[in-house]
Copies of this chain bind each other. A is one copy, B any other.
């Protein structure tokens, strides 16, 4: 190296700072937030201070209950006398929004294999969703044809996060395959804003987890309207759609908007020859968690009188996620007349699950 004679400036060097030092200068609640890491779901990493997982879903030796079929059967299904439970693996949803289409399809197929090999054989009460990535509908259809006749796989599961509403014809190959194997399609939140999904709301990105989580209903409403507007259930008359974890009480308002607008605008959708609410009652189901909890319980009872609860609503715990509803909680809030259907009969019919106790 020659002797230094000229001025030398490097305008871009990357040190690594000690996170603890940054925490030292950070006020609360941001200090706790940084220490906690990015524990929100999806690719955006919003902070849920409760964590995604229930802290009490642990047995005495420290094992988490959801970590194996055996523990899940003993410490959750047994504990709550659950006859059948549908497994929807955590972490599978944000894979479904990956722009790496071939990797996403392969990874979900391998995840399905784990469910089929390691989980379903363990306990006769376990069933599971068949995971697909909707980003490549043809690869998704291929996976449905590969495993769609497995008796333990009772529905197709896709993320509710999407850049295209699910009524769009882009997804028809998935629906054709689902119908061929007589499987409902279910959607589940958690990946909104991750991968190549659209921003989580119609007006962009939420600023925290509270805003993100509370607003998840927006995508569900848009998917439901899209499924009707595009005539998916006219083209696939045996298809059922399950809206998991998207909320319940918003449904009547949307049914009324759909019916009112259909009356005025039906000529633009010649394929729709009856009220949207009639189509939805026959084709769409919702799961209960997280159930709204109004200050006055009678308000929820009133909501339950505004749509076909006994046909459309199915109990779900979301166990072991932070805001899960245990069966004893849920049993209390449903009117007695429709409780047996919500807690099991409707799902029994949808998924072909017979009573065990005859």
Bound complex: CA of A217 vs CA of B258, how far in Å? 12
Determine whether the beta carbon of A215 is less than 8 Å from that of B208. Answer: no
Complex interface: chain B residues within 8 A of A49 (CB):
265, 267-268
Determine whether the beta carbon of B203 is less than 8 Å from that of A222. Answer: yes
Asked if A234 is at the interface of the complex by the 8 Å CB criterion, the answer is no
Complex interface: chain B residues within 8 A of A206 (CB):
165, 222, 225-226, 229
When each residue 194-205 of chain A gets 1 if its CB lies under 8 Å from chain B and 0 otherwise, what string results? 000111111111
Bound complex: CA of A207 vs CA of B253, how far in Å? 21
How distant is A233 from chain B, measured CB to nearest CB, in Å?
A: 14
Determine whether the beta carbon of B29 is less than 8 Å from that of A270. Answer: yes
Determine whether the beta carbon of A218 is less than 8 Å from that of B222. Answer: yes
Which one of B226, B247, B260, B265 contacts A203 once the chains associate, using CB atoms below 8 Å? B226
Bound complex: CA of A228 vs CA of B211, how far in Å? 8
Among A1-44, those with CB < 8 Å from B are 29, 32-33
Asked if A254 is at the interface of the complex by the 8 Å CB criterion, the answer is yes
Complex interface: chain B residues within 8 A of A219 (CB):
201-203, 218
Asked if A110 is at the interface of the complex by the 8 Å CB criterion, the answer is no
Determine whether the beta carbon of B213 is less than 8 Å from that of A256. Answer: no
With CB as the reference atom, state the residue of chain B lying closest to A221: B218
Bound complex: CA of A205 vs CA of B206, how far in Å? 19
Determine whether the beta carbon of A268 is less than 8 Å from that of B204. Answer: no
Determine whether the beta carbon of A292 is less than 8 Å from that of B202. Answer: no
Determine whether the beta carbon of B217 is less than 8 Å from that of A257. Answer: yes
Complex interface: chain B residues within 8 A of A260 (CB):
290, 292-293
Complex interface: chain B residues within 8 A of A268 (CB):
29, 33, 47-49, 208-210
Among A167-202, those with CB < 8 Å from B are 167-168, 192, 197-202
Determine whether the beta carbon of A229 is less than 8 Å from that of B201. Answer: no
Determine whether the beta carbon of B164 is less than 8 Å from that of A204. Answer: yes
12 A-B residue pairs with CB within 8 Å: A49-B268, A50-B265, A165-B201, A167-B207, A202-B202, A207-B226, A208-B268, A214-B254, A217-B221, A218-B222, A247-B257, A302-B306
Given A203-B219, A250-B250, output 12 extra A-B contacts at Cβ < 8 Å: A165-B203, A165-B207, A168-B207, A198-B202, A202-B219, A209-B265, A210-B265, A210-B269, A214-B258, A247-B257, A252-B294, A253-B253
Binding site for B on A (CB under 8 A): 29, 32-33, 47-50, 160-168, 192, 197-211, 213-215, 217-219, 221-223, 225-226, 228-230, 247-250, 252-254, 256-262, 264-265, 267-270, 290, 292-295, 299, 302-303, 305-306, 322-323
